[in-house]
Amino acid sequence: MLKEFIWQIRVYYEDTDAGEVVFYANYLKFMERARTEWLRKIGFDHKILKEKYKLLFAVKNLTIDYIKPGHLDDLLTVTSKLLESRKASLTFGQNIKNENNELLSEAKVKVACINSKTLKASPMPDELILELTNDN
């Protein structure tokens, strides 16, 4: 499958610790924002998913490796690849690199699709799966 989405973000002071190094939890925020922007780009932002389809996404599982630190004012590139699509879940491979193309972190994130009322697993709309896997 391996369709990918690339998104950039600048590291601001609020993203760093006292040493002006990106705080470890913020890598997860950057990855979340990249997945959200991917959905927005293909016409399935979270508001539409909730209002039209009564669906939410929740992280079910993730593993992350921190390789090198990011720093204040770095321009980071977050690459998200769809590794697996199931009826009610998506698995992404994500990595973050700096402007020198150095790998800072990489993660595997499984996201469950859930009903917004019951908070139980729910199938994704076929249109969403088609958009995420379509190479056009």
> Which residues participate in catalysis according to the annotation?
17
3-state secondary structure of 122: coil
Closest CA to 78 of 2, 6, 3, 4: 6
Is residue 74 within 8 Å of 115, Cβ to Cβ? no
Name the residue with tokens 């729910």: 122
DSSP string, 69-88: --BTT-EEEEEEEEEEEETT
